[in-house]
Structures are given as structure tokens and as C-alpha cells.
């Protein structure tokens, strides 16, 4: 008890000292330059909060019962949960409480789920730590926007093209990276991501620079438009189905579009894990030297992972462009890469359902608290640190073996 | 020629600042093998703390400029060191045995927290400080073009040299430095021989953060404008410097910092200022592809 008290007192003291310069004084713009205003009550508050928190951690945490181990049928349960989630996602727009706002937010979460699943191929399966994933997302978005504005191509033509372009960039950027190991890959990919963003920002003639591209064409469903007044030669969706026109139709359509894209990514990942190339990725992640001696060519295997991950980011990017109708380099900062990587790692690398959970937690929850805008990012960073401290290998770290030898019980 | 010399001076000053930040990266990396992603953020906090300490000393304490500068220097080193210590204690130490990615994610989280904490506590607007140390002298007068060397630039370079010298002395001839080098070679063996590894790592973080804090002070005085976002780019560039010099090598970090500063200044002067970051990152990629160990680094021997 006394030890805990002393420890908490020390923590409170350290917190007060840390808060003193940054929180205790505020820089105020005044007539003759900057001046200072004291706010020492905040210092006292932070010290008190840290003291109480530390005391609680020291006294309460050891007293808590340990969580029971997950039941043996957990793998099965996970499969059921996966189907349940997919089913729920399918009916979500038609539930009574689902308004336009909710569907819109669900669409945003699904974009991140899809990006997470795409990055999972690179990070989770192939074990290449990619901190510049947003570059491929940007390539997808810009290739759709530019193709549609320059050549008047429709979304459905551009979608595969965006994927191909992004994959091409993946191979291009993958080449210098492949010779490196571990953390170096992270830094180089981060640098490459920044290079792409800086180019987008400064290549005014093509990308519009910081102003971005606006008025991007919205997608149609088999030639049926979602506009109130369909363009020449097209019929509107509402007219054909026999509904009154509503702007909600497009929101729901976009939701289903990203749902289908995301589920396709998921299916692809699940299937490719059983193919030789998928097995090679996971083998390479575990031990590169062993792989080489077994005759696997690390370069092609890694490049394929890079290209495929980039392709899905490209799809997601062109969806993002068509949903927003406007893109600018602002949307493709390093922060986005960090969010996507955090989703993959927090979810538990390689776990598809974990990524959904992490995306809900990191993207969905903050969207909910938009009113608390200024504390949103603080909570976001806090969540990243706390989840890592609590579960260092991710929320659902259990990894399904790629192959089982012999009978399993 | 004059223009070139002027850019050389500017670049060296900038490079000295990058070098100071790079030292922190390279020290942590050589012991823990982890990229301390929040290091650039600590540098940003150093800039804010030094600005606040300087203003507090002059306006509240009524100190003269010289005294206020020393107050700012020691306050910045102390407080950023404390932040570095806490950061390691709270966010990294529990993850030492965790999978490789966990500390990296935790570090990204810490840097997001600190950035937004400063943005909330001090406002997101740019903070200007009128030049504290003015003047300098011109080295040579060309035809209508003078090469000037300001006092501030001299102070930046001299402080960096002094810190670098002290630092080298600490690493090579104190018991702490010996313990650090031991931990760098083999942490488990060092622990078996009675070195308190936790304490060595804590000290490393404190020293690295203090150096980054000094870099923050320099930037506040040299450029006079800071905001809560300066840590990100400076952090990446300093990391580039550390890699360029050979990560794990202390003179390498300094050399890399100087080179990055020079490249940035010369590129901005002769090519395009918009693409100066592309030049830096391009160099990072090139170095890693063609010489992954950096200029002064030793190659990693892989044992099976």
C-alpha cells in the first residue's frame, strides 16, 4: 500500500514537471509579439489525474481475475462471427435505425477495412512493413480522376485500370525496397509515399496541385444513373426500379459497391493463402534464408505481394475518388498510411476479422465523436499505444495455420 | 561562387541541427534496434519548451538575453529529457519483448499524441519569435554580393560541435558510455555482467531527447517560427541523415546530418525549392539500395 502510494506520488510529480512548460504556460499573441499566460490549475489537474490513475493501476489491476483462456472451438466461432458480420453488413442500409449519415460512415469504415485487407497481404502475409501504402491509394484515386476527366471513361472501365496502374507502381517502388530488411523497408516506403505526395502537390499542370481535382464523375449501375436528371441517353435508377428519386439511393449504392469490393479483397486473400504463391509469402515472412535454400525466388514473391496489395489500394482509391467527387494531396498524407498500418497491426497481423474490428475502433468510433474534434486525435494516438501495451500482437492474434498435417482433433 | 559559399554556410548550419536530431535516432537504434518514431516530435516539443522558457525568463524573470538563453538551454534539455524518459518508460519498455512491429506502432501513437497535445495546449497557429541574436559579419565582399555569416549560425555550429565533443567523450571514456557500448553489442551478456540494462536504455533516451531539445532551441532561435507540425519532416530528414551516415555510428550521424543539410540547401538554391524533400528522400532510397550500411556503418553479419 505504502509502496503503491509512493509510486503514485512520484508519477504525479513527474506528470506535474512534464506538464509545467507546455501546459502551464500558454503562448499568447499580443501587440508586441508573443507573451505568456499562466494556467497552473491545468498542471495541478494533470498531476492529480496521473496520481489517481497510477494508484488505481497499482491497486486494482493485480486484484482483477485473469481472463479465462478462449474456448477450444474459437476458430469455429470466428468463422460464424465472420459470416454474421457479413450478413449484418448486407442488411445494414435497410435497418430501421440506418439513416443516410450512418450508411455514409459505414462506407468510410469499409474503405479502411478494404485498405487494411489490402495492406494485410503485404504486411501480414508477406511480412514487408510498408509505411507508404497511401501512395498506391493516391495512384488509384488520381488515375481514375484523370482518366475520367481526360478521356471521359466511365468508372467501371477505370476501376480495373486504376488497379493495374497501382500494381505497376507497386512493382516500380517495390524494386528498390526488396533488397532491404526489416525497419529499413518501413522508412524507404515512407519516403516513397512522401515523394508521391510532394509530386502530386507540385505537378500543377496534371494534378491540379494543392487544389486537387473536383467534379469527378459518379458511377452508374449498369448504365443507370443516380442523378436526379440523368444525362443524355441514360435512364435513372429510380425510374427503372419504380421508386421516387432520392439522393439516398446513391449513398446506399456506394455502400454496396465498397462492400462488394472489400469482400472481394477478403475472398481473394483467403483463397490465395492456399495457392503456392500465398504459401510462399508466409514462408518468406517466417524465414527468408530457408526459403531461398528451398528454391523460392524472394524477389518475385515479394514483388507479387507488393503489386497485389497495391492493386487493392488502387481499387479503394478509385472508389474514394468517385465517392468524394473531389481529391487533393491533403487526403493522402503519411497520417493515412499510419492509420492503415495501425489497423492491420492492432487487428492482429494476418487476421481478417481483427482488421474489421480495428477499423471499427480506429475509424468508426472517432467518426462518432466528431463533436469532440480536438480530442479525437489524442484519443486515437492513445488507443494505438494502449492496445499495443495490452495486446502487443494485436486484438485477434491467433493465426490460422496455412496447412494442417495429419488429423486435427 | 559567392552564392555557392553562402549556400554552403546555410547548409552546414541546417545540417548541424539535423545531425543533433540524428544522434538520438542512431543511439536508440543501435541499442534497441528500433526506430523511435516519436523522436522528431520530441524535437518539436523542445522548440516549444525553449520558446516558453526564454519568454518566461525575459518577461517574468526579467533576465538579460544571455542569461535567458542559458535558462532556455538548460530548461529545454531538462524537460525534453524528462519527456523522453517517460516516453520510454510508458510506451516502449513494456514492449521490449513484444513482436518487432509493436514498439513501432506504439511510437507512432506517441508521436500522434504529443503532436495533438501541443496543438491543443498551445494552439495550432505558427508561433513567431523576433530574432534574439542579430547581426554577424560579412566574410568577403564580391561584386555586389556579400557572404554573410551571422552570429546565430556561429552559435549553432559551435554548440553542435561542443555537444558532439562532450558526447564522444561520454561514449568513449565514461562508465556510462562503456555500458552503452556493451548493451549495443549484446544486451543479455551485458545484463549478466551486472549492467543495469533498463537504466542504460533510459539514459540513452534521456540524452537523445535532450539533444533533440537543443536542436529545437536552435531552430527556434535560427528561424524564429515554429508550429506543432515541424517535428514530422525534421524527424524523417534526421533519420535519413542517420541512415546515410550509417545507423549506429555516432560520427556517421553527424556527417549524415551535415550532408543532408548541404544537399537541401544546394538543391533549393540551384534546382527547385518545391522538390527539396523529394531530393532528400531520393537520397535515402539511393543510399539504402546501393549502400545499405551507410557511409560509416559496419555491415551487419547475419548468423544462421
pLDDT at A100 over 50: yes
Q: Tell me how close the Cα of A340 comes to any Cα of chain B, in angstroms.
A: 11
Contact pairs from chain A to chain B, CB under 8 Å: 174
Cα B153 from chain centroid (whole Å): 17
- In a domain? residue A106: yes
More reliable by pLDDT, A71 or A305: A305
Q: What rounded mean pLDDT belongs to chain B?
A: 85
**Binary contact (A17, B109; C-beta < 8 A):** no
Per-residue pLDDT tens for A339-364?
888 888 888 777 788 888 888 888 87
Domain limit, last residue, from A29, A63, A97: A63
- In a domain? residue A4: yes
Residue A122 is part of a domain; what is its CATH number? Answer: 1.10.3470
Per-residue pLDDT tens for A173-210?
888 777 776 667 877 888 888 888 888 888 877 777 77
With CA atoms as reference, report the closest residue to B289 among A301, A187, A167, A288: A187
Residue of chain A with shortest Cα separation from B36: A183
**Residues in chain A, how many?**
409
**Binary contact (B83, A18; C-beta < 8 A):** yes
- In a domain? residue A272: yes
- What is the structure's pLDDT at A74? 58
3-state secondary structure of B96: coil
- What is the structure's pLDDT at B227? 85
Rounded to 5 degrees, what angle do the CA atoms A396, A398, A401 make? Answer: 140
More reliable by pLDDT, B125 or A230: B125
Q: Pairing between strand A33-38 and A25-30? A: antiparallel
Q: Pairing between strand B146-150 and B225-226? A: unpaired
- In a domain? residue A9: yes
Q: What is the CA radius of gyration of chain A?
A: 25
**Binary contact (B129, A187; C-beta < 8 A):** no
Percent of chain A with pLDDT over 70: 85
Per-residue pLDDT tens for A102-122?
888 888 899 999 999 999 888
- Tell me the three cell numbers of residue A363: 475509424
**Binary contact (B105, A388; C-beta < 8 A):** yes
Of A74-78, A242-246, B30-34, the range with the highest mean pLDDT is: B30-34
pLDDT tier for residue A3 given thresholds of 50, 70 and 90:
confident
Per-residue pLDDT tens for A268-279?
988 888 888 888
Q: Tell me how close the Cα of A181 comes to any Cα of chain B, in angstroms.
A: 10
Per-window interface: A 280-309 vs B, CB < 8 A = 289
- Are A97 and A143 within one domain? yes
Per-window interface: A 72-101 vs B, CB < 8 A = none
> Structurally, how many domains does chain A consist of?
2
Per-residue pLDDT tens for B6-27?
888 888 999 999 999 999 888 8
pLDDT at B28 over 60: yes
Q: In whole angstroms, what is the distance from residue B295 CA to residue B253 CA?
A: 10
Q: Measured between CB atoms, does A388 come within 8 Å of chain B?
A: yes
Per-residue pLDDT tens for A364-389?
777 777 666 667 778 888 888 888 88
pLDDT at A69 over 60: no
pLDDT at A395 over 60: yes
Q: Measured between CB atoms, does A199 come within 8 Å of chain B?
A: yes
- In a domain? residue A271: yes
For A65, what's the count of Cα atoms within 13 Å in the CB-facing half-sphere?
A: 3
- What is the structure's pLDDT at B47? 92
- What is the structure's pLDDT at B79? 93
Per-residue pLDDT tens for B38-51?
899 999 999 999 98
Task: List CB contacts (< 8 A) between B103 and chain A.
Answer: 388
- What is the structure's pLDDT at A385? 86
- Are A95 and A10 within one domain? no
Per-window interface: B 93-132 vs A, CB < 8 A = 94-95, 98-106, 108-113, 115-118, 120-123, 125, 127-130
Task: List CB contacts (< 8 A) between B121 and chain A.
Answer: 22-23, 26
- What is the structure's pLDDT at A409? 47
Per-residue pLDDT tens for B182-237?
888 888 888 999 889 999 999 999 999 999 999 999 988 888 888 888 888 888 88
Q: What rounded mean pLDDT belongs to chain A?
A: 80
pLDDT at A262 over 70: yes
- Are A264 and A144 within one domain? yes
Q: In whole angstroms, what is the distance from residue B125 CA to residue B117 CA?
A: 14
Could you tell me which residues come within 8 angstroms of residue A311 by beta carbon, excluding any fewer than 6 positions away?
Answer: A118, A136, A163, A164, A166, A167, A170
**Binary contact (A345, B101; C-beta < 8 A):** yes
- What is the structure's pLDDT at A405? 67
Task: List CB contacts (< 8 A) between B79 and chain A.
Answer: 17-18, 20-21
Per-residue pLDDT tens for B227-263?
888 888 888 888 888 888 887 788 888 899 999 999 8
pLDDT at A231 over 80: no
**Binary contact (A384, B108; C-beta < 8 A):** yes
Average pLDDT over residues A318-329: 87
Of B90, B122, B281, which is closest to A22 when you measure between CB atoms?
B122
- Tell me the three cell numbers of residue A128: 514487408
**Binary contact (B123, A190; C-beta < 8 A):** no
pLDDT at A407 over 60: no
Per-residue pLDDT tens for B65-101?
888 888 899 999 999 999 999 999 888 888 888 877 7
Could you tell me which residues come within 8 angstroms of residue B40 by beta carbon, excluding any fewer than 6 positions away?
Answer: B21, B111, B212, B231, B232, B233, B234, B235, B236, B238, B239
Of A17, A35, A180, which is closest to B292 when you measure between CB atoms?
A180
- Are A277 and A163 within one domain? yes
- What is the structure's pLDDT at A242? 65
pLDDT tier for residue A72 given thresholds of 50, 70 and 90:
low
For residue B92, what is the DSSP state?
I
ipTM of the complex: 0.83
- What is the structure's pLDDT at A227? 67
CB contact at 8 A, A232 and A238: no
Q: In whole angstroms, what is the distance from residue A190 CA to residue A18 CA?
A: 31
B265-272 own/partner pairs: CB under 8 Å, 24+ apart: B265/B7, B265/B8, B265/B10, B265/B11, B265/B14, B266/B4, B266/B7, B266/B8, B266/B11, B269/B3, B269/B7
Q: In whole angstroms, what is the distance from residue A290 CA to residue A282 CA?
A: 12
Strands (E), B3-135: 127-128
Q: Pairing between strand B127-128 and B136-141? A: unpaired
User: Range of A105's domain?
Assistant: 83-212+248-390
- In a domain? residue A406: no
Q: Tell me how close the Cα of B277 comes to any Cα of chain A, in angstroms.
A: 7
For residue B78, what is the DSSP state?
H
Amino acid at each position: 500500500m505504502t509502496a503503491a502510494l509512493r509510486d503514485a506520488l512520484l508519477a504525479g510529480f513527474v506528470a506535474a514537471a512534464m506538464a509545467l512548460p507546455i501546459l502551464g504556460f500558454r503562448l499568447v499573441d499580443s501587440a508586441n509579439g508573443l507573451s505568456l499566460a499562466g494556467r497552473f490549475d491545468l498542471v495541478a489537474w494533470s498531476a492529480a489525474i496521473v496520481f489517481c490513475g497510477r494508484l488505481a493501476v497499482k491497486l486494482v489491476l493485480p486484484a482483477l481475475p485473469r481472463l479465462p483462456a478462449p474456448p477450444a472451438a474459437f476458430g469455429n466461432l470466428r468463422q460464424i462471427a465472420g459470416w454474421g458480420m457479413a450478413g449484418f453488413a448486407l442488411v445494414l442500409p435497410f435497418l430501421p435505425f440506418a439513416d443516410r449519415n450512418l450508411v455514409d460512415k459505414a462506407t468510410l469504415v469499409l474503405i479502411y477495412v478494404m485498405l487494411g485487407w489490402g495492406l494485410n497481404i503485404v504486411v501480414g502475409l508477406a511480412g514487408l512493413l510498408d509505411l507508404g501504402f497511401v501512395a498506391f491509394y493516391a495512384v488509384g484515386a488520381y488515375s481514375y480522376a484523370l482518366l475520367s476527366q481526360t478521356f471521359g471513361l466511365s468508372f467501371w472501365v477505370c476501376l480495373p485500370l486504376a488497379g493495374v496502374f497501382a500494381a505497376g507502381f507497386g512493382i516500380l517502388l517495390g524494386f528498390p525496397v526488396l533488397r532491404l530488411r526489416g525497419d529499413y523497408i518501413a522508412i524507404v516506403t515512407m519516403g516513397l509515399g512522401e515523394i508521391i505526395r510532394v509530386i502530386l502537390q507540385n505537378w500543377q499542370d496534371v494534378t491540379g496541385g494543392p487544389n486537387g481535382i473536383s467534379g469527378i464523375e459518379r458511377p452508374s449501375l449498369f448504365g443507370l444513373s443516380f442523378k436526379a436528371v440523368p444525362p443524355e441517353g441514360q435512364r435513372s435508377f429510380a425510374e427503372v426500379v419504380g421508386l421516387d428519386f432520392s439522393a439516398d439511393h446513391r449513398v446506399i449504392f456506394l455502400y454496396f459497391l465498397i462492400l462488394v469490393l472489400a469482400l472481394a479483397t477478403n475472398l481473394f486473400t483467403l483463397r490465395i493463402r492456399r495457392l503456392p504463391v500465398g504459401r510462399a509469402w508466409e514462408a518468406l515472412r517466417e524465414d527468408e534464408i530457408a526459403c531461398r535454400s528451398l528454391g523460392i525466388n524472394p524477389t518475385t514473391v515479394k514483388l507479387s505481394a507488393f503489386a497485389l496489395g497495391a492493386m487493392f489500394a488502387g481499387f479503394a482509391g478509385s472508389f474514394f475518388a468517385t465517392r468524394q467527387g473531389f481529391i487533393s494531396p491533403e487526403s493522402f498524407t503519411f497520417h493515412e498510411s499510419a492509420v492503415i498500418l495501425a489497423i492491420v497491426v492492432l487487428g492482429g497481423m494476418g487476421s481478417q476479422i481483427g482488421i474489421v474490428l480495428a477499423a471499427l475502433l480506429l475509424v468508426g468510433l472517432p467518426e462518432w465523436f466528431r463533436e469532440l474534434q480536438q480530442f479525437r486525435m489524442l484519443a486515437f494516438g492513445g488507443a494505438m499505444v494502449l492496445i499495443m501495451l495490452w495486446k502487443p500482437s494485436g486484438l485477434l492474434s491467433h493465426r490460422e495455420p496455412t496447412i494442417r498435417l495429419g488429423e486435427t482433433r | 561562387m559567392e552564392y555557392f559559399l553562402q549556400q554552403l554556410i546555410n547548409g552546414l548550419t541546417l545540417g548541424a541541427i539535423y545531425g543533433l536530431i540524428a544522434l538520438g535516432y542512431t543511439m536508440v537504434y543501435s541499442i534497441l534496434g528500433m526506430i523511435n518514431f516519436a523522436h522528431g516530435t520530441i524535437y518539436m516539443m523542445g522548440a516549444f519548451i525553449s520558446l516558453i522558457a526564454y519568454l518566461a525568463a525575459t518577461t517574468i524573470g526579467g533576465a538579460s538575453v544571455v542569461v535567458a538563453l542559458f535558462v532556455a538551454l538548460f530548461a529545454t534539455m531538462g524537460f525534453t529529457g524528462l519527456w523522453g524518459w517517460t516516453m520510454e518508460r510508458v510506451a516502449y519498455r513494456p514492449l521490449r519483448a513484444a513482436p518487432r512491429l509493436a514498439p513501432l506502432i506504439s511510437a507512432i501513437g506517441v508521436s500522434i499524441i504529443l503532436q495533438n497535445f501541443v496543438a491543443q495546449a498551445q494552439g495550432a497557429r505558427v508561433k513567431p519569435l523576433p530574432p534574439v541574436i542579430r547581426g554577424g559579419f560579412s566574410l568577403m565582399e564580391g561584386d555586389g554580393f556579400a557572404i554573410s555569416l551571422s552570429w546565430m549560425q556561429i552559435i549553432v555550429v559551435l554548440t553542435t560541435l561542443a555537444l558532439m565533443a562532450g558526447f564522444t567523450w561520454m561514449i568513449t571514456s565514461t562508465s556510462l558510455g562503456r555500458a552503452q557500448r556493451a548493451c549495443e553489442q549484446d544486451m543479455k551478456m551485458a545484463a549478466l555482467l551486472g549492467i543495469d540494462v533498463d537504466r542504460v536504455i533510459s539514459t540513452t533516451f534521456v540524452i537523445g531527447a535532450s539533444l533533440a531539445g537543443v536542436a529545437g532551441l536552435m531552430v527556434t532561435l535560427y528561424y524564429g517560427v515554429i508550429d506543432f507540425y515541424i517535428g514530422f519532416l525534421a524527424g524523417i530528414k534526421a533519420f535519413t541523415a542517420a541512415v546515410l551516415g550509417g545507423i549506429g555510428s555516432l560520427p556517421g550521424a553527424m556527417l549524415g546530418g551535415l550532408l543532408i543539410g548541404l544537399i537541401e540547401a544546394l538543391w533549393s538554391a540551384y534546382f527547385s525549392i518545391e522538390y527539396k524533400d523529394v531530393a532528400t528522400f531520393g537520397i535515402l532510397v539511393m543510399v539504402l539500395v546501393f549502400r545499405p550500411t551507410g557511409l560509416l556503418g559496419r555491415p551487419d553479419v547475419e548468423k544462421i
